[in-house]
Amino acid sequence: MRRLNRKKTLNLMKELDAFPKVPESYVETSASGGTVSLIAFTTIAFLTIMEFTVYQDTWMKYEYEVDKDFTSKLRINIDITVAMRCQYVGADVLDLAETMVASADGLIYEPVIFDLSPQQKEWQRMLQLIQSRLQEEHSLQDVIFKSAFKSASTALPPREDNSLQSPDACRIHGHLYVNKVAGNFHITVGKAIPHPRGHAHLAALVSHDSYNFSHRIDHLSFGELIPGIINPLDGTEKIASDHNQMFQYFITVVPTKLHTYKISAETHQFSVTERERVINHAAGSHGVSGIFMKYDISSLMVTVTEEHMPFWQFLVRLCGIIGGIFSTTGILHGFGRFVAEIIFCRFRLGSHRSTSVPLPDGHTSNHLPLITDNSMH
C-alpha cells in the first residue's frame, strides 16, 4: 500500500511538471541558434553585473512635514574673517523678538593675516570649484550627505608659512544659540552695547578711513556641526571697493533630519541670496556699512533618509532579466528563421523555373535533360 501511494504521488507530481523534458533525439542544434545563445548569455552577464551595481548603491529619500518645534534653540556656527582689526569690529545677533545675543556668548576674536598662504589658497580654490559644481548639479548634494563624517574636514587649514607680517584682519569664529525666529546676524564697526530700544555700536571711536569690510566666509552653518557637509557660503570671498560698503545675505533656513547608514543627526540646510552696495547718503543709498546676514526659519522640515534596494527585489529583477532575454531572443531567432526559410524557398523555386526544358509536343519539363551520346557528338 505504501509503495502504491508513493507511485500515485510520484505520478501526480510528474503530471504537475511544468518543465517537461524533451528527448535528445528530438533536439536539433544549429549554428544560428548557437550564435543567438552566445549573444543572449553575454547580454545576461552584462545586465546582471549592472544590476548588482545598482543593488550595491543607495539613494536619498526626501520627506516633508511641518516643523512643530518652536521652543528649542537654533545653533549658528560661524567662521568669518574681516579685513579690519579686532578692536574695530563687533558682531551680534538681533532677532524679531528684539532679543540680542552678544558675540561674547560664544564667538572668539582672533587677529590674523587676511591674505591666505599658498596652501590655503589652493584649499579655497578647490572649495569654490565644488560650490560651482553643486550649483550646476544639485544631485551631488546626495553624495555629500552619504560621505558625511567619512570625508576630510572642510575647515580652513592652518598657515604653513611663518609669516612675520603683523595681523591686519580679525577672524570671528565660534557658535551662538538663538531663538527659532527670524533674525539678523551682523558684523559692523564698533563693539555692540545694549540699550532699552535695541542696541548700538560704538562706531564714533573708529576712523572712517579704517573701514574695510572685505571678508571671507570659511564656514557658516545652522544646527549640529557635521564634518564633511559643504554649505552654500563656505569659501565665499568678497572684496570691498569702497570704505562705506554694505554686504547683505538673505538666508532661508530649512530644518533637516539626516538619517544615513553612517550617521543620524539634526541639522539645517539653507539657501542664500546675496546683495552688495555702496552707502552714499547723497545719492539716496542709505544704511550702515558692514556684513548683514538676515535669516528666516522655514515652517517645513525635511527628513533625508538613505535607502537601499531589498534583496528580494534584486532577485525579482534578476529573474526578470534572465527570463526576458531568453524569451525575447527565442522569439527573434524563430522569426529570423521563418523569414530566412521564406527567402530561400523563393530562391529555390526561381532556380527550378529557370531550368525548364521545352518538349516537342509543346509541353515543358522541369527536369534536367539527359546527356546522351548523340548530344555529346
**Structure confidence by residue, pLDDT tens digits, 217-233:** 999 999 888 877 888 89
**Contact predicate 335/34, CB 8 Å:** no
Percentage of residues in the chain having pLDDT higher than 90 = 16
pLDDT at 37 over 50: yes
Mean pLDDT value across residues 46-60: 85
C-alpha 109, offset from chain centre: 36
Range with lowest mean pLDDT among 53-62, 171-180, 242-251: 53-62
**pLDDT score recorded for residue 326:** 81
Q: Is the pLDDT of residue 170 over 60?
A: yes
Compute the Cα dihedral for 276, 278, 280, 283 and give only its sign: negative
Pair type for strands 89-95 and 183-189: antiparallel
Is 198's pLDDT higher than 70?
Answer: no
On the question of pLDDT at 103 being above 70, the answer is no
First to last CA, the chain: 87
Residue 55 has pLDDT above 50, yes or no: yes
Instruction: Specify if 1 maps to a domain.
Output: no
Q: Is residue 23 part of a domain?
A: no
Residue 12 has pLDDT above 90, yes or no: no
Q: Is 361 or 257 the better-scoring residue by pLDDT?
A: 257
What's the pLDDT band for 375 if we cut at 50, 70, 90?
very low
How does residue 22 score in pLDDT terms, banded at 50, 70 and 90?
low
Q: Which residue has the higher pLDDT, 331 or 22?
A: 331
Q: Count up the domains in the chain and report the number.
A: 1
Domain contains 253: yes
**∠102-292-65 over CA atoms, to 5°?**
85
pLDDT of 132: 84
Neighbours of 312 (CB within 10 A): 8
pLDDT mean over 189-212: 74
Which helix (H) or strand (E) segment holds residue 296: the answer is strand 290-297
DSSP code of residue 280: B
Of 13-22, 53-62, 248-257, the range with the lowest mean pLDDT is 13-22
In terms of C-beta density within 10 A (0-12 exposed, 13-18 middle, 19 or more buried), how is residue 128 classed?
A: middle
Least confident of 50-59, 186-195, 217-226, 303-312: 186-195
Q: Using 50, 70 and 90 to split pLDDT, how confident is the model at 208?
A: confident
The answer to whether position 179 is within a domain reads yes
Asked if the structure places residue 228 within a domain, the reply is yes
Mean pLDDT of 1-20: 69
Q: Which three cell numbers stand for residue 52?
A: 548588482
Helix (H) or strand (E) holding 66: strand 58-66
Residue 268 has pLDDT above 60, yes or no: yes
Residue 321 domain-assigned (yes or no): no
In 242-289, which ranges are E strands? 245-259, 264-278
User: Given the C-alpha cell 557637509, which residue does it identify?
Assistant: 229
Of the ranges 76-90, 225-239, 341-355, 363-377, which is most confident?
Answer: 76-90
Q: Is residue 358 part of a domain?
A: no
**Per-residue pLDDT at 204 exceeds 70:** no
> Taking the CB of residue 186, how many other CB atoms lie within 10 A of it?
21
111-164 per-position pLDDT tens digit: 999 988 888 888 888 888 888 887 777 666 767 776 665 555 567 778 777 777
Find residue 12's DSSP bridge partners.
none
Q: Domain for residue 374, yes or no?
A: no
What does the block give as the cell for 120?
590655503
Residue-averaged pLDDT of the chain: 80
Query: Domain containing 190: what range?
Result: 68-298
Binned at pLDDT 50, 70 and 90, residue 239 comes out as: very high
Whether 363 has a pLDDT exceeding 60, the answer reads no
CB 114 within 8 A of CB 200: no
Confidence check: pLDDT of 371 > 70: no
Rounded to 10°, the helix 311-354/31-56 angle is: 160
Supply 169's cell numbers: 584682519
